[in-house]
Amino acid sequence: MAGKVLVLLAHPVLERSRVNRRLAEAAAGLEGVTVHDLYETYPTLSIDARREQALLLRHQAVVLQHPFYWYSSPALLKEWQDIVLEHGWAYGKGGNNLAGKVLVSAITTGGPAMAYRKDGYNRFTLKELLAPFDQTAHLCGMKYLAPFALHGSLRFETPEEVVPHTTRYVRLLSALRDGELDLDRATAVDNLADGLDGLISARAGAPAP
């Protein structure tokens, strides 16, 4: 299902970011992709529900992009959920405005991939830790994909090292926009960043080159 993509960016100190800032800059250059920086838009943390809901209505896929903070998102994204996903609008009686849209978490973690395993020091997989987002999407009738995760993000010392991941992110956002991502398989995998190309196909009905 093709449609515009909304990236909700939540990073409290973007100027000190090594990874999320670069991902967001690359995303902002894409046609059909809106990057919405929550901390920049709401410096007093006072979220405008109507404005956010109007933005959501104009997009078919929503990407929650943020560093992993204490096994979840930075606080403003939680506040965004509390304020914007209202009963009667996002869920409950008459609350079907998000139904059929796609939700993805694009996350950077300080911990390495091996830490996010049952036998790793974080004891849970990233997918398990993201269960509240998964269930929130489910309640709103949205399809929640596997996370697009970059682990071990603190190891990067130069901008060049981030480039392969930025390239994958652009590919993901473009595929979401163009309806080229196999959504069922993109839900089943552990990490969208691994083997992303295998989840993308030319759009059915698209003209042959």
Task: List phi, psi (to 5°) of 75.
Answer: -60, -35
The least distance separating ligand FMN from the CB of residue 205, rounded to whole angstroms, comes to 38
Which of 112/141 has CB closer to ligand FMN?
112
Which of 11/101 has CB closer to ligand FMN?
11
Q: Classify each residue of 29-60 as buried b or exposed e, where b means 16 or more C-beta atoms within 10 Å of its C-beta.
A: ebebbebbbbbeebeeeebeeeebbebbeebb
Q: Is 104 helix (H, G, I), strand (E, B) or coil?
A: strand
Q: Is 182 helix (H, G, I), strand (E, B) or coil?
A: coil
Which of 89/116 has CB closer to ligand FMN?
116
The least distance separating ligand FMN from the CB of residue 13, rounded to whole angstroms, comes to 7
Measured in whole angstroms, the distance separating CA 37 from the mean position of its chain's CA atoms is 13
Q: Which residues contact 24 (CB under 8 A, 6 or more apart)?
A: 7, 9, 11, 14, 35, 37, 65
The least distance separating ligand FMN from the CB of residue 70, rounded to whole angstroms, comes to 5
CA 139/CA 46 separation, integer angstroms: 25
Question: Which residues form the interface with ligand FMN (CB under 6 A)?
Answer: 11, 17-20, 67-71, 108-111, 153-154
The least distance separating ligand FMN from the CB of residue 155, rounded to whole angstroms, comes to 10
Q: Is 33 helix (H, G, I), strand (E, B) or coil?
A: strand
Q: Which residue is nearest to ligand FMN (CB)?
A: 110
Which of 66/101 has CB closer to ligand FMN?
66
The least distance separating ligand FMN from the CB of residue 178, rounded to whole angstroms, comes to 26
Which of 114/202 has CB closer to ligand FMN?
114
The least distance separating ligand FMN from the CB of residue 161, rounded to whole angstroms, comes to 11
Which of 42/124 has CB closer to ligand FMN?
124
Residue indicated by tokens 């080159």: 209
CA 34/CA 9 separation, integer angstroms: 10
CB 147 within 8 A of CB 130: yes
